[in-house]
Amino acid sequence: MHGPLSPSMARGRHAARVRKRERIVSRSAAPVLGETRPPRRVILIDGGGYIARAFHAFPPLYRPDGVPVNAVYGMTIMLMRLLKEEQSAESMAMVLDTGRRTFRNDLYHAYKAHRPPLPESLAPQLALIRDGIRAFSIASVEQAGYEADDLIATYARQAVIQGANVTIFSADKDLMQLVRHGIVLWDPLKKCAMGPDQVRKTFGVAPCQVADVQALAGDPVDNVPGVPGIGVKRAAALITFFGDLESLLARVGEIPQERLRRILLSHAARARLSRALTQLKDDISVVTPLTALRRRPLDPEAVRAFLRAQAFDSLLYRFEKLLRSQCFNNF
């Protein structure tokens, strides 16, 4: 019969158990590395939406050195929850904007021109948020000249072609145009899936017609001009009847209201410009291939280092608890 362990022996056994758990975590994720078969489930995350939500969800919070980290803190909580709850996805990516001009600014100089600059306390947190995404072994993609929505559209199309089911994590209505067989929009705020029926309730048309409705109604958030005097409800009625914007403009003479005919004829170019702004590009020549979005093994030590650097002691404790419960086994 063995006597009680000395403190040093107890610490050694505890450390051995921790290392064993970490090996289990790494081995469980290892089979996905080097996979050549297409993924069965892909998660694409609207990074800008997640960052904004994290920033506004928490009051000002600072590290001991004075660096603001409230958005980093909120984002870290969401990343931990994401990895805990979404273990069936074989590919996952946080899709971000570069923050620079895109091709839409070349089409229309006033596109998003009225948007205020980033809050002063958020700007220095963006690099830390990217560090956190890497620490949690989640792929992060962005590409100059395009918005995150265009990258999401491209990856979603590529994944569906390969037979995958795609879930887009976003509350952005602009992404509703992507919903179709194999692509679902998950609203993280309302915690509900947005399929074709939900898109119809919002825009009054099928997902493939959303960009046409937005082209007519405009979008004040992105400064898309649209056609004067036409709101979402009337736009939906017109697109439902004529099918799409080009058919509407080609058959505008069939509209009985003279004033509406005149407005559409005089603002046809504006409507087409708005259509070019609202339609997401799903054929980008992406720098980061879909295969690079494969899940990677979670590196517990990288997560620990990140959490310690931000002085997130409570989140470090929560992370260790999740490791002990083996919630991250598939990662």
pLDDT score of 26 more than 60:
no
pLDDT tens digits along 201-214: 999 999 999 999 99
Average pLDDT over the chain, rounded to an integer: 89
| Residues in Cβ contact with 197 at an 8 Å cutoff, skipping those fewer than 6 apart | none
Tell me the pLDDT band of 18, cut-offs 50, 70 and 90.
Answer: very low
Question: Three-state SS for 270?
Answer: helix
What is the model's pLDDT at position 80? 95
The larger pLDDT score, comparing residue 297 to residue 325, is at 297
Which structural domains are found in the chain, ordered by start? 36-196+281-324 (3.40.50.1010), 203-278 (1.10.150.20)
pLDDT at 66 over 70: yes
What is the radius of gyration, based on Cα positions, of the chain?
24
Q: What is the pLDDT of residue 29?
A: 38
Report how far residue 171's alpha carbon sits from residue 157's, in angstroms, rounded to the nearest whole number. 19
Does residue 19 or residue 77 have the better pLDDT?
A: 77
The answer to whether the beta carbons of residues 99 and 145 sit under 8 Å apart is no
Greater pLDDT, 271 or 88: 271
Q: How many residues does the chain have?
A: 331
Give the model's confidence band at 36: pLDDT under 50 very low, under 70 low, under 90 confident, else very high.
low
Region of 176 (left: φ > 0; alpha: ψ -120 to 50; beta: rest) is: alpha
Measured between alpha carbons, how far is 131 from 134 in angstroms, rounded to an integer? 5
pLDDT for 46 beyond 90: yes
pLDDT, one tens digit per residue, over 220-250 is 999 999 999 999 999 999 999 999 999 999 9
* Residue (of 251, 245, 174) closest to 212 by Cα position: 245
Q: pLDDT grade, residue 10 (50/70/90)?
A: very low
Say what the pTM is: 0.88
**Mean local confidence (pLDDT), 79-92:** 91
Higher pLDDT, 36 or 160: 160
310 confidence band (pLDDT: 50, 70, 90): very high
Indicate if the alpha-carbon torsion angle 283, 218, 208, 46 is positive or negative. Answer: positive
